[in-house]
Chains A and B, each alone.
Chain A
Amino acid sequence: GDSVTQMEGPVTLSEEAFLTINCTYTATGYPSLFWYVQYPGEGLQLLLKATKADDKGSNKGFEATYRKETTSFHLEKGSVQVSDSAVYFCALSSSGGYNKLIFGAGTRLAVHP
């Protein structure tokens, strides 16, 4: 079945460091790909998405490019802030059916001043 694999955390960075969180997927068909963020004590917020190969999703300085050839959707940010500390979830929505989301395990990011 479809699945998402994320790099294990926690990821600990200093403020202004470069961030990469790896995400790869296995899916039949042509899934849409998402990054959701969960701040401490809060629910899931959509961070960015891409619906087809080579699309780049971006929001709040975060970017991710849908790479069909490597089945990847890595999240990047050039300069992280303390306020970016959260858990980041990669997810896919399979084509067809009723588009349930399949999530990765989540990666906790801690940014220190």
Chain B
Amino acid sequence: EPEVTQTPSHQVTQMGQEVILRCVPISNHLYFYWYRQILGQKVEFLVSFYNNEISEKSEIFDDQFSVERPDGSNFTLKIRSTKLEDSAMYFCASSEWDQETQYFGPGTRLLVL
């Protein structure tokens, strides 16, 4: 069964450094999403992406964040200058043309020191 994959599974970085989290969505899916889950808290929507542009973003998704689909298969989330409070599990998700169901990847656990 096709699945969403994410790399790396864990990333440790220093505050102020840039990080890029990578996702490979399911191949025939058209809509892509990033969510995050700070330890012990609820899963929060960050951004949705369709047709090579952002379709919706949350208040969390400020100028430090960007997304890109560089090559038709990968979908990346960049955090330009990480802060301590960016430490979280980041989930990528994708859905088909009808957007009915989102399928999640296993997540990348980001720790900012």
Question: Interface residues, chain A, CB within 8 Å of chain B?
Answer: 32, 34, 36, 42-46, 49, 51, 89, 91, 93, 97-106
C-alpha spacing A32/B82, complex, angstroms: 34
A-B interface, 4 closest residue pairs, ranked by CB to CB distance from nearest: A43-B106, A44-B104, A98-B55, A99-B99
Is B18 close to A, CB under 8 A?
Answer: no
What is the size, in residues, of chain B's interface with A at 8 Å between Cβ atoms?
Answer: 25
C-alpha spacing A51/B101, complex, angstroms: 10
Are A98 and B48 touching (Cβ within 8 A)?
yes
Contacting residues, chain A, for B33 (C-beta < 8 A) = 100-101
Are A49 and B101 touching (Cβ within 8 A)?
yes
Is B107 close to A, CB under 8 A?
Answer: yes
Is B91 close to A, CB under 8 A?
Answer: yes
Question: Given B42, B50, B99, B106, which contacts A105 in the complex, CB threshold below 8 Å?
Answer: B42
Contacting residues, chain B, for A99 (C-beta < 8 A) = 31, 48, 95, 99, 102
Q: How far is the CB of A60 from chain B (nearest CB, A)?
A: 15
12 A-B contact pairs sorted by A residue (CB < 8 Å): A43-B104, A43-B107, A46-B101, A89-B43, A91-B43, A93-B99, A97-B56, A100-B33, A101-B45, A101-B93, A105-B41, A105-B42
- Given A98-B56, A99-B99, A100-B56, decide whether A36 and B42 contact each other with a Cβ distance below 8 A: no
For A45, A93, A99, the residue with the greatest tally of chain B CB atoms inside 10 Å of its CB is A99
Are A103 and B106 touching (Cβ within 8 A)?
no
Q: How far is the CB of B61 from chain A (nearest CB, A)?
A: 11
Are A104 and B42 touching (Cβ within 8 A)?
yes
Are B104 and A100 touching (Cβ within 8 A)?
no
CB within 8 Å of A: which of B46-95?
A: 48, 50, 55-56, 58, 91, 93, 95
- What residue of chain A has the Cβ atom nearest to residue B98's Cβ? A99
Contacting residues, chain B, for A97 (C-beta < 8 A) = 55-56
Contacting residues, chain B, for A93 (C-beta < 8 A) = 99-100, 102
Q: How far is the CB of A2 from chain B (nearest CB, A)?
A: 11
Q: How far is the CB of A90 from chain B (nearest CB, A)?
A: 10
